[in-house]
Amino acid sequence: MQKELKHLDMARESAKEMLIDVDRPLLLFKASWQTVRHEDLLGLLAIRSQLLDYMAAGHIMGDTQRFCSARDALLGHAVVFLERFQPINEILIVELSLALTAKRQLIAKTLSTAILSRDIKGTLTLDKFQALSLASLVSKDYPGAPEYCGGFNRSM
């Protein structure tokens, strides 16, 4: 138990440091999205990762407003991200999960259709299987699909 508390304390300390910059990561994401080159997937993934860190910090600190702001910024660009860069399904599962827990059905349907329409290349890994499974539940309008997205939707 003591080991868990140590990790939780470390997570809270890291989250506090990230949230000190107020909404800088959110503003950086929005500004970077406008300037990222059409073919610069790596640059976009980097700013997306920063936004996910910011969202996680908001969740850890119980700051619902920051969590939702980051989530909404990410979902606001999810379909364009999909269309411009065609990221692999293992990346899209994050946006799909967020869309489901935020009850953004149109985005969830668009992402699930894209995931299911792709050919499976290579080995079927756990990440690929999870993305395909969740997309299948969404495509079948299964009402319990958000429950498979993780625990963050229960606390926010």
| 46-56 pLDDT, tens digit each | 888 888 888 88
pLDDT score, position 3:
40
Torsion of Cα atoms, 62 then 63 then 67 then 73, to 10°:
180
Q: What digits encode the pLDDT tens for the residues 124-152?
A: 788 788 888 888 888 887 777 777 665 44
Task: Name every residue whose Cβ is closer than 8 Å to that of residue 8 and which is 6 or more positions away in sequence.
Answer: none
Q: Is the pTM of this model over 0.75?
A: no
Longest dimension (CA), the chain: 48
